Amino acid sequence: MSDTILTEHFDGWMQITLNRPDRLNAFNDEMHVALSAALAEAEKPEVRALLLTGAGRGFCAGQDLEGRDPRKMSGPPDLGHTLSTLYNPLVQRLRSLAKPVVCAVNGVAAGAGANIVFSCDIVIAATTAKFVQSFAKVGLIPDAGGTYHLTQILGPLRAKAWAMTATPITSQTAQDWGLVWQCCEADALMEAA
């Protein structure tokens, strides 16, 4: 398995850590493949719960746009293909796991990274964490389940305003809005999760 994803097994539960801290755990194709393999492990019956977190100072900055730079490609990137083959199956897989999925948000969760958080069952965030629907800054709409989860959790008006303004929110605001179950100090995050 690639070192872009770390897995640890405990008594009855498993931890998956997104591990590209130098890129704020932004997804590239290698990381998607490794995460899919890790989720196959998590689907085994002896794993009764899953904890998802990020390495370093960020949870996940979404898609690593360096790998989708049209100036470095022979043609424009096929974002629809990326969504249909990578992000949508990931979100659907997390949502369909027949066990609790706990997310420990240790830092920034932006774009698809934030929306992956919102597909988990229980979200605990460090008080230093921030959430950003950054899609508007690159001319997109929320993907990775964002348009569904945000309207379900926040209601359509707040979801639209947040998506259209790309305003970062604190973990406390996320808790107040119902996006996060609990906030705690960064040094207590993993124990709480």
Picking from 99, 85, 87, 88, the residue whose alpha carbon sits closest to that of residue 41 is 99
**pLDDT score at 70:** 62
Question: What domains are there in the chain, each with its CATH number?
Answer: 5-192 (3.90.226.10)
Q: Which residue has the tokens 């008080």?
A: 127
Among 80-84, 164-168, 174-178, whose mean pLDDT is lowest? Answer: 80-84
Q: What mean pLDDT do residues 18-22 have? A: 97
pLDDT at 169: 93
- Considering only the C-alpha atoms of the chain, give the largest distance between any 2 of them, rounded to a whole number of Å: 48
pLDDT, position 122: 97
| Residue corresponding to tokens 């659907």 | 92
Distance separating alpha carbons of residues 184 and 51, to the nearest angstrom: 16
Query: Mean per-residue pLDDT for 91-102?
Result: 94
Q: Which of 59, 60, 100 is nearest to 186 (CA)?
A: 59
List the single range of 5-14, 104-113, 141-150 with lowest mean pLDDT. 141-150
Cα separations in angstroms, 151 against 30, 48, 115: 31, 29, 12
Q: Is the pLDDT of residue 148 over 90?
A: no
What average pLDDT does the chain have? 90
What is the average per-residue pLDDT within 92-104? 95
What DSSP element (H or E) covers 171? Answer: helix 171-177
How distant is the alpha carbon of residue 89 from its chain centre? Answer: 13
Tell me what pLDDT residue 36 has. Answer: 94
Checking if the pLDDT of 145 tops 90, the result is no
- Closest by Cα among 56, 76, 53 to 125: 53
Q: What is the C-alpha to C-alpha distance for residues 148 and 29, in angstroms, rounded to an integer?
A: 24
pLDDT band (50, 70, 90) for residue 68: low
Kindly tell me if the per-residue pLDDT of 47 is higher than 80: yes
Whole-angstrom distance, CA of residue 112 vs CA of residue 143: 6
Cα(27)–Cα(149) distance, rounded to whole angstroms? Answer: 20
- Residue 172: CB atoms within 10 A of its CB come to 13
